Structure 1
């Protein structure tokens, strides 16, 4: 049984020069990537709204919405990484690109020999950033789950006058028997305790008014 081929990476190329746009498309497509093009920042946003590409290659200087403005929109509203194309190779342009969060920077005129190494280096950096974000999210979720479990164990210790290990084992065994994650059971237990405390306060208030 043969496995399905891996999906091609989808690259958005944005430039108001149709000749350069065609050249970039041909070179990047020849290297094995799927490409989608836009001749303006506004058109690029419409493309992204239909489905985020794996990376965007943006011309900095375009009429209407500039590449820097487009990059700011992508950074604020999407998770699309981007690199810049510029006719200017000075340090200020490179600084602006870095400040906007670009994963790469290419100076025009661009030839195929320089384009692909820089492009693939930018794509690799974008992948590294994605992985770091994914790891951070997973870590935050694990820490949150750990806090919930720890609080639930403490609650059981107090309720049943038992030690930490026994409380944890009972909580874990209950999660396994109900085929749920331990943090889900812990969260439910904490929510139930909060509800009971609220009801207790309500009863106490009623007794005071009698």
Structure 2
């Protein structure tokens, strides 16, 4: 059985399975593997743990078929506590079940009876995939923010060009120097200009009525 890398030693896992035997085996193997493990025997119990302040896990291993609330249903509820990565456990490996797991956002899928030697490597792979997805979402968010800020700065520069009858480079330099002299972010100053222009346009529109 391979051990997780040093960076993964203290990563947290949530195990949810109504089969206490399998739950015990997973708990023991993953705890010995260096992970911080919490267990629940049902979906409602898992949600209660999180609702009472337990930190969101880096990865949740969920049994697909559980009475009351299935693992697929639980995975949807877990999203209320952040983008929790999930790996599903199931005695079924038919195409429909696997497809449902993939649609449920699974980063991994273990078929019962579980090969003990594959538990830790599978969790390592699931965590690595989860990290990639988090980084991708973070990059997309940063790109969206950068594009939004770029549009706001561009609009502010256009307003300065029009009002001061100057070229784009001169207008941008004036905007940047104003931001630096007042120790403010460029986008914050641009946002002020856009808001002030909106107010002026609103007042001007009313005055012309």
TM-score higher than 0.5 here?
yes
Q: C-alpha separation between the residues in 2 aligned to 1:31 and 1:173?
A: 55
What is the aligned counterpart of 2:38 among 33, 36, 39? Answer: 36
The aligned residue for residue 139 of structure 2 is: 135
Higher relative contact order (CA 8 A, sep 6+): 2
1:71-110, aligned counterparts within 5 Å? 71-75=75-79, 78-110=82-114
Q: CA deviation at 1:32?
A: 1.4
Task: Give the secondary structure class of the aligned counterpart of 1:64.
Answer: coil
Q: C-alpha separation between the residues in 2 aligned to 1:202 and 1:77?
A: 47
The aligned residue for residue 27 of structure 2 is: 25
The aligned residue for residue 193 of structure 2 is: 189
The aligned residue for residue 208 of structure 1 is: none
2:17 touches 2:63 (CA, 8 Å); kept in 1?
yes
1:37-186, aligned counterparts within 5 Å? 37-49=39-51, 50=53, 51-75=55-79, 78-186=82-190
- Structure 1: gaps spanning 5 or more residues: 206-210
TM score, norm. by length of structure 1: 0.90
TM score, norm. by length of structure 2: 0.90
Task: Give the secondary structure class of the aligned counterpart of 1:12.
Answer: strand
2:9 touches 2:34 (CA, 8 Å); kept in 1?
no
- Structure 2: gaps spanning 5 or more residues: 1-6
Task: Give the secondary structure class of the aligned counterpart of 1:24.
Answer: helix
Q: CA deviation at 1:108?
A: 0.9
How many residue pairs are counted as aligned between the two chains?
201
Which is worse superposed, 147-156 or 81-90?
A: 81-90
